[in-house]
Chain A
Amino acid sequence: MSDKTLINVREAVMEKFFLFCASTSILALLLICIFLFANGIPAIQEVGVRAFLLGTEWAPLRQYPATPQFGILPMIVGSIYFMIGAIIIGVPVGIFTAIFFAYMCPDKLYFFLKPVVNLLAGIPSVVYGFFGIVVIVPIVRVLAIQFTGHLPGGASGMSILSASILLGIMILPTIIAISESAIRAVPKNYYEGALALGASHTRSVFFVIVPAAKSGILASVILGIGRAIGETMAVVMVAGNHARMPIHALRGARSLTANIVMEMGYASGLHRETLIASAVVLFVFILLINLTFTFIARKSGM
């Protein structure tokens, strides 16, 4: 065999090897789907789709003669409340901060502040959760005793509000980073045109630039929602985790993610399978969110 063919063989082999490496992502995704769905779907069938998704009672360990209940609606509602709370707190702050960074911030301040905000993205969720326990929860506790003292159960301060505040802070870096790049991607002559027509700096930014960046900003919000829904540890640490329908913003609730991490350690049989099934629900939900994000991001040409 000549040198030339040897090199050709080597090239061909390596190309196949690279292709093999590239297919591991697909393989991993397939494995995740197969293992989650194979373990989760039978449980949903056994409990019944309606009873599982719309059942308001989660009591997996109830003993005979009573029957165990596997309704995950309290956790779905809990997750949605946390998400809405996080949006209310995180989205306005995040978008305004992004506008600030892109158009209002003096250069010198920017070079100091930008790394600081990047730092926010790197802090582990357990550290956020711990901060929630020692700072946010005690503050909310005062409010909870004041306003929900008449409700049953203890007012510990571990509540929907605590989790919402914490999640609102945690989604800030995502919203700021993506919104900022969307705002910066708007051609500078939009801004100059608005100025030339007599609009002030603030007016040009808020009524010309920001509307032009709206799909990118929307994409950042959707990605932030994905983070809030998927967050586990920080939520478990501050949300109180009561597995019942949420009654008040100052009282506890449990998210889908918290339900899995709290009970998977000791669950067995159908209980275990329903937890996997709730991961399937979570997985599908996140998938829809990401597809929406991809769609919007593509539309806005990011």
Chain B
Amino acid sequence: MSRTKISDTILASLTWIFAGFTIFVLMFIILYILVNGVPHLTPTLFEIRYTTDNVSMFPSIVSTIVMVFLTLTFAVPLGIFTGIYLVEYVKRGSKVVMVIRTAANLLAGIPSIVYGLFGLLFFVVFLGMSFSLLAGSLTLSIMILPLVIRTTEEALQSVPDGYREGAFALGAGKLRAVFRIVLPSAMPGIFAGVILAIGRIIGESAALIFTAGTIAQLPESLSNSVRTLTVHMWVLSGEALHTNEAYATGVVLLLVVFFINTVSAFLAKKIAKG
């Protein structure tokens, strides 16, 4: 064999080996958690109240759902309106777009622990919200805002200009064109972004420990401290006594991730079809 052929073979096999490694690791993580966790998914883990004897994840599931809705309520309208402004109202490539987009990009890069610290300093201490659902969700809103803005922008940009021109030609004002014609066509893309944002909210832990706290209880008001599912899993994994329950929580989290990915893949396919 010539030297070229040998190096070809080596490179090609390396590619297969490394790709195989990636897939193997992923499958291993998922299967390991499922195999060890599913047997521990007992009904008692879903009892209404959390006690030190029965570390029920039910309050955390409810807290997570409430946290998701609250955060979306703050961040989604803001993100969509920002996207509309950047795409529909400002000339593409203008200074305003540059500044806002740079700010959003910088926000997107900030590590979650820094968000957590900021939430602690600003919402919890400065605004006096203490560890609460509200402080946690406001912190997360800022965190997911860049994601919502970017996906809205991309979705709006993919709407053909003909739609806008058609609407204007029929005498619609800008607002009418945007809300009746452009926004509805961009909806699947925006929705896919929202789904991704939900995934980030559910997966977040570092930003919540010092803003929403870690108390496992059913939230009764916005000022209650709550513990979301990921934070719950973190607390359990720190206690050697509750490894099995941590596995079970991991299973629930993985199922949620499966579900979210399936929905967003479905949406992506729908957008691709047009």
Contacts and interface: CB of A to CB of B under 8 A. Distances in A.
A22 B102 CA distance: 12
B105 A264 contact: no
A301 interface: no
A176 B25 CA distance: 14
Which of B14, B21, B22, B89 has the most C-beta atoms of chain A within 10 angstroms of its own C-beta? B22
Given A96-B19, A127-B254, A287 B109 contact: yes
Interface in B63-103: 77-78, 81-82, 84-86, 89, 96, 99-100, 103
B1 interface: no
B113 A200 contact: no
Contact of A131 (B22, B29, B120, B206): B29
B113 A257 contact: yes
B118 A36 contact: yes
A206 B11 contact: yes
Contact of B175 (A14, A99, A100): A14
Contacts of B234: 126, 129, 233, 237
A59 B220 CA distance: 40
Contacts of A129: 234, 237
Interface in B181-222: 199, 202-206, 209-210
Interface in B18-68: 18-19, 21-23, 25-27, 29-30, 32-33, 36
Given A26-B99, A276-B121, A290-B109, A117 B81 contact: no
Question: By DSSP majority rule, is chain B's interface helix, strand, loop, or mixed?
Answer: helix
Contact of A124 (B27, B114, B230, B247): B230
Contact of B19 (A7, A26, A105, A286): A105
Contacts of A101: 19
A123 B203 contact: yes
Contact of B206 (A19, A26, A261): A261
A202 to B, nearest CB: 4
Nearest to A165: B25
How many interface residues does chain B have, given as a range?
35 or more
A26 B265 CA distance: 31
Given A19-B85, A118-B265, A119-B258, A26 B103 contact: yes
A89 to B, nearest CB: 10
A125 B130 CA distance: 25
A52 B210 CA distance: 24
Nearest to B108: A290
A32 B108 CA distance: 13
Question: By DSSP majority rule, is chain A's interface helix, strand, loop, or mixed?
Answer: helix
Contacts of B174: 11, 15
Interface in B102-142: 103-107, 109-118, 120-122, 126, 142
Contacts of A10: 175
A122 B260 contact: yes
A64 interface: no
Given A18-B89, A100-B16, A283 B203 contact: no
Contacts of B17: 96
A99 B117 contact: no
A206 B205 CA distance: 40
B15 interface: yes
A65 B234 CA distance: 38
A115 to B, nearest CB: 6
Contact of A31 (B4, B22, B122): B122
Given A24-B78, A126-B205, A36 B237 contact: no
Closest 6 CB pairs of A and B: A230-B111, A124-B203, A96-B18, A21-B81, A100-B19, A18-B85
Given A18-B81, A19-B85, A19-B89, 19 more contacts: A15-B85, A21-B78, A22-B100, A26-B99, A31-B118, A36-B118, A100-B19, A115-B265, A116-B23, A117-B23, A119-B257, A127-B233, A127-B250, A200-B4, A200-B5, A200-B8, A230-B112, A260-B117, A286-B111
